[in-house]
Structure 1
Amino acid sequence: MCSLCRWDANNANQFDKPRQKIRVFNEDFVRDNLRFITNPDDNIESFAILGEDNNKIEQEIGALEKELGAQEQGEETGLYAQRAEIRKEYVKHKGEHKQTFDALEKQLSDKATDRNIGIKYKPERFGDQNYNVTKLKTEIEEVLKPSYQPSTGDQLSNYEKLIAEKILQPVSPFCPSKLQFGNLANEAEILITKKISESDKIEELAKDAVLNRWVSEGRSHHKGKKRACGFCGSAITTERWEKLEKHFDEESSKLEKDLDVFLNKIETEKNSTSLALSIFDRAGLLGLLQDLYAANKDNQTFLHARLSVWATMCSSRTKPPSTAGCGPICSRIRILRSPRQKSLSPITRKPSAKRKVWPN
C-alpha cells in the first residue's frame, strides 16, 4: 500500500468504495513544497489546493478588491476614493475649528487683559487689577448656569450710576434716638379713655373736651386776678367760681397735667424723627442713597401728620389713636438708618469690591 495515496495494489475493490481523497502533484511541485518525502527532516511549505471552494473565495476577494478600488494617490477609486474625500473634509473642518477656536481665545484674552479694552486695565469700573482670562471663563460658566438670574434693566442702571459716583465728603456721625410710636399710642389711648368722676361737673364742659380745656386755661389766667371775664367782659360771680373749682377738682387737674406731659412727648418725638434726617444733606449722598433719603422724608412727613392727629385726639379726648401704617414705616426708618449707624462708608465712598456689571 502506498504510504502517500493509500493505494493497495492487491485490492482491486478499493475503487468501488474510496475512503480517502486522492491528490495528484507533479514532480516539480513535490520537489519545491513536499521535500519531506525525500528528506524526513525537511519542512512542509504551505500551499493552496485549487478546487470549487477556492474558486469561490477568489471571486469574493476579487469583488472586495473591486469595491476597495485603486489606492494610488490622486487616482483613488471605490472606497479609497471615498476615504480620500472624507479625509479632505476632515482636514478642512479641523482647520476651520482651530481658526475659530484661536479667534475666540484671542477675543477672550483681549477682553480680559488687553491694555486698551481689557477688564484688567479698568479697575475703576470693574474693581479687579488682577483680572485674567481664567476669571473671565469662570464668570462665563457662571452666567450660563440655569440657576443664574440676570440683572434687570433697573438694576443695571443703578449699578452704572453707582460706578459713576464720585468720592464725597464724610457725613457727620449719627447717634439716633429710639422711636417711641408704640408707647405713645398706648399712652394716648389710656389718657383718652380714662374715666373721671362726673359728680359736681359742669355738663356743658364735661361733654366738650376742647371747651373744657379752653375754660381751664382761662380759669388759670383769671383766678385771683380778675372779677370780670377777659373774653366777654361779664362778671364772674362767686357761685360761678365755686362751680368751676368743683369741676376742675384734683382728679381733673391731674388728667390735664398728664395730657400736657403727653403733648410735650409728642413734640419731642416729632423733633426726634426730624433729627434722624436733619444731619444729612441729600446732595452729599450717593445716588442710590438719595432715593432712600427721599423715601425716608416721605415717611417722616407721614409720621409727623399722624403724631399731630394723636395730639388733637388727646386734646379733645374724642377717640383712641390709630397706629395703622406707623409700624411698617418705623421699621423702614430703622432699616434705612442701620447702615449709617454701623458704617458711614456706603455713604461717603464708592464700593471697592468688584462690580458684577457684565462688560459690553
Structure 2
Amino acid sequence: MIEKIDIKNFGSFKDYEWKRNVGNDDNSIFKDLNIIYGRNYSGKTTLSRIFQCVEYGEIHDDYLDSEFSFHLNDGTEITHDDLEHIKENITMRVYNTDFVKTNLSWFFNDDGTIQPFTILGEQNVEIEKQLLKLKEKLGSVGDSKGLYFELHKINEDFESKLNKAKETQNKLDKKLKGKAQDIKNTGDIYNKPTYNITSIKRDLDLIRKNGISSFILDKDSKTLNERLLREEAKTTIPKISKIKKNFAEYIEKTNALLTKKIKPSKPITELINDNLLQEWVREGMKHHKGKRDTCGFCGSILNQDLWEKLGAHFDEESDSLRNQITIHLKTIENLRLEITNYITLNKNNFYVQLHDSLDKLVREWEMGVKEFEENLNKQISELKEREKDIFNEKELIKVSLDFNTALNTKIESLNKLIKNNNDKTQNLNSDQEKARKELLMDNVADFYNTIQYDEEINSINRLEGEFQQVKSLSVEKREEIEQVLSEKRDLEIQIQDESRGAELVNTHLTNFFGHEELKLVSEGESPNVKFKIIRDSEEAKNLSEGECSLISFCYFMAQIEDEINADRSKEKLIVYIDDPISSLDGNHIFYMFSLIESIIAKRKKYLQMFISTHNLDFLKYLKRLTKPNGDGSINHFLIERRLRQNDSKSFLGKMPVHLKEYVTEFNYLFNEIYNLYKEVKGDRKQLLKNTYNQFYNIPNNIRKFLECYLFYKYPNTSTPLENLPQMFNGNVPPLLNRVINEYSHLVYLDRGWKPVDVDEMEMCVEIIIKRLEEIDPEQFNSLLDSIGVKPKEEIGV
C-alpha cells in the first residue's frame, strides 16, 4: 500500500516533500481511503497523472523529465525509474481526464468512436491456444525461462554495472564534498560561504578543460596573494616633484672659478713656484699681521717692508676669487644635502606586491644620486685645490651626463609606482577577490592532482558506457516483449464480450442516474467493435458536460468491475478517481457518490482508494463512504496552488478542520474572510501577493458570505442583501457597499482594469468580523470553532 509520495518535478509539483508538507507520524500518511479536496487548477489532475504513470508503467508523455518516488508500507521506495516493479504487486486504475480522452474519443473526435474494453464472455478455443503460446514465449522470472527471464538477466547485469558506476561516483562525490567543505570553512582566505559539490565540480571541469598548468601558482605568486589578502587600504602617497634646479649652471660656475686667470701686482717668485709655501704664508699672515711684531715661528722681526711686499703679492683680486670659491663651495654642499635627502619614501606605505619594484627604483635613484655626488665631490676637490693655489688655473671639469634628466627620469618612474600604489588602494577589493580566486583555483588544482580527478572521470565514463550498452539490450528486449504483448492484447480483444460491457454501462446509467434515454451500443464485429452513444434511438451529438461526466464514469466503473470482483483485489487493487464531478446537478452528484459507494466502497474489495474533488457538496457526500476498516482507515487531504517569488507550485497537505468536519460553503467562506482578518507572521502584503488568486476572490466571498448569513438571519426575501441595513442598524458602511456591489461584479466597467486594494479589503473584512462578533456572538464563536479557532480568541493576542 502507498503511504507517502515525494515529487521532485512533475508539472506544477516542484521540490515537494511529504514530511515537510503533511508530516511524519502515523496519522500523516495515505490510508485505505483517501479524500482529497482542491480548487480547480490546484493540481488534482496532475497528482492523478503521477498515479497513472504506475498504471501504465511509464512516464506520462507531457512530463518526460519528471522525478518522483512512492513510499510503500513495507518500507520500500519506488521511483519514476522503477515503475515496472510496482506494477508487479499493484493493480492501479485511474479515472481522470486522460482516461476519458483515451477511451471515449467520441467526446473529442469527429468519428465519435469509443474504445472497447474487457468484460469477459465466451472464450474462443483457438484464440486461447494462441494466447497460451504467447504466454509461454513470455515466460516468467520464477520459471527461469522466456522473454521475461531473459530481460531479468539483462536487468541484473544492468543493475550490477549501474551500481558499480554509482558506487564509483559516490566515492568521488564524497571526496568532492569533503574538499568543498574544507574550502567553505576556510573563509578567511577563500570567502566562499556557499561553496558545495556543484561548485567544486564546476571548477574541476574548468581545470580539466583548460589544463592544470593554467591554475597552479608558483611559490612567490602564492605568497604575494596571501599577503595581499592581509593588506588593508593604504593612505594616498603624494607625488614627488621634479628637480627644478639646473645642475649645468653649477658646473659652469665651478669651471669659471677654476679657469679664472689672476696675477699678483708684485709676485714673489718663491711663493708662485711653491703653492704650499704660498698657502702657509697666507695663513701665517692671519695670525701675525696686526697681532705680533716678531715671527711666531722663528722670532725674526716683522717690519713694515715685509707686510708691504706680502700685500703686493696677495692682492685684492686673489682675495676676491677665494671668497667666490668659498661661497660656491657652500652652495655645492647645500645642493649635495638637498639631493641626498630629496626623496624619503616609507616602504610600509606601499603594498607588498610593489615592494620589489620599489626597492629596485630606490636603488636606481640612490645610484644616480651617488654618481651625482661623485661629480660634486670632484668639483669641491678642484675648487679647494684652486683655493690653495689661487694664481694657477685648473683644467675644466667635463660632464658627459645630464644629471637633471637622469634624476628626473628616475623620479618619474617612482611617481608611476606611487600612482600604481594609490590605484591599488582604490581597487583593493577587486584585487583581493582576484587573489582569492587564484588561490582557490590553485588549491583545487592541487586537489585535482592529488585525487587524480581526470582518471576518476574517465573511469566513471567508461562504467557509464558499459551500463548504457546493457541498457540498450534491455530496451531491445522490452520492445520484443512489447511486440508479443501487443499480439496478446489483440487476441484478448477478440475474445471479449463487448455487448456485455455496453450493457453494464447502460445498467449503471439507468440504476444510478435514471438515464434510460441514453445508451451505449456496440457496432461491428470482433475484433473491430466500436461503441457509440445513442439518445432515443439516434446517435447523440450534443451531450451536456454533465452527461459526458456520467457516461465516462460509468464506462470506467464497468471496466474495473472484473478487477473489483477478482480474488486478490483486496491485496492489489488501487483505485484513483479524480474529480468525477463537473456541471452535475445535486441529484447526479448524489448518484455519483452512490455508484462509488455501491460498486467499490461497500464491497471493501480494494487495497486502497483515492478520490479528489473540487465540489463541496460532493465532498460532503464522500464523508459518508463506507470505511474499509473503521475511522482509522480514512484520511483527508487538501491540494493548493501557491505562488512563491513568482513561481506557482502545487502542494498536498492535511485538510483543514472546517473542510474535514463541517464541509459547507458557509464555513468555507467564513474561513476565507477570517484569514484576511487574523494576525499573520511576516509582511501581510507580501503574503497576499503570494496568494493573490484567493485575495482577488475576496469581494465575491464577502458577498456570498453575507448572502448566506442574511438568508438564515432574515429568511423573508429572495434577495438576502436587501436586509444588509438591518445588520448595521440602517447605516451600511460605504466601503462595504462598494466592495459587494462594485468589486464582486463588473457593474462599472472601469473596475475591471484596476487591481483590488489590499488596505480596502482588510478594512472591509474588519467591519464584517467585528459587527458579526458584536451582534451575534454565539454564531460568531461557533464559526470560529468550526475553522479550528478558539471561540472569543482575540486577534493578535
* TM-score (structure 1 length as normaliser): 0.46
> Which structure carries more strand by proportion?
2
* TM-score (structure 2 length as normaliser): 0.25
Q: Which has the larger radius of gyration?
A: 1
